[in-house]
């Protein structure tokens, strides 16, 4: 696996590109001297958690023939303060399903992803992050 990052401008704008040529923009906020063109690096970790866990959850529920459904994940995090590198202290992922998914099946799929399958959640936990989750099912 390889990712390349390339500076885009005279400030902090960076384009990240994967092996397939897919890109996303990373930048600092205006208060930090950036142009706010894209995700800040620590936001990209939260997005990666949401993406990784969503893929797991969708896979688990597809195997149970529980489609179709919509899925949105809202992720909130709190970072440490007063350190040179302010890691994620706590992260909460709220999964919102829309469809005919039984809530207990949705909860189990989320639990399996966060605690067992999602490499991003395991990476964050290895750094000391406490990850919690909740599930909402809308019909």
Tell me the average pLDDT of the chain: 97
> Is 139's pLDDT higher than 90?
no
Full-model pTM: 0.94
C-alpha distances out from residue 137 to 63, 72, 87, 97, Å: 19, 11, 31, 5
Matching residue, tokens 């099946």: 105
Domains of the chain: 3-32 (no CATH), 41-138 (3.30.300.20)
Alpha helices (H) in 8-118, listed in sequence order: 41-63, 103-112
pLDDT digits (tens, 9 = 90+) for 70-109: 999 999 999 999 999 999 999 999 999 999 999 999 999 9
On whether the CB atoms of residues 118 and 95 are closer than 8 A, the answer is no
């Amino acid at each position: 696996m390889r990712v390349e990052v390339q500076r885009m401008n005279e400030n902090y704008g960076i384009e990240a590109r994967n092996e397939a040529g897919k890109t996303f923009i990373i930048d600092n906020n205006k208060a930090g001297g950036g142009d706010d063109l894209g995700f800040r690096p620590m936001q990209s970790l939260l997005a990666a958690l949401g993406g990784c866990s969503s893929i797991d959850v969708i896979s688990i529920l597809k195997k149970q023939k529980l489609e179709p459904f919509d899925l949105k994940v809202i992720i909130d995090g709190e970072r440490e303060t007063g350190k040179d590198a302010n890691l994620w202290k706590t992260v909460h992922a709220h999964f919102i399903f829309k469809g005919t998914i039984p809530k207990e099946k949705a909860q189990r799929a989320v639990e399996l992803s966060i605690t067992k399958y999602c490499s991003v959640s395991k990476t964050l936990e290895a750094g000391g992050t406490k990850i919690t989750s909740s599930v909402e099912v809308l019909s």
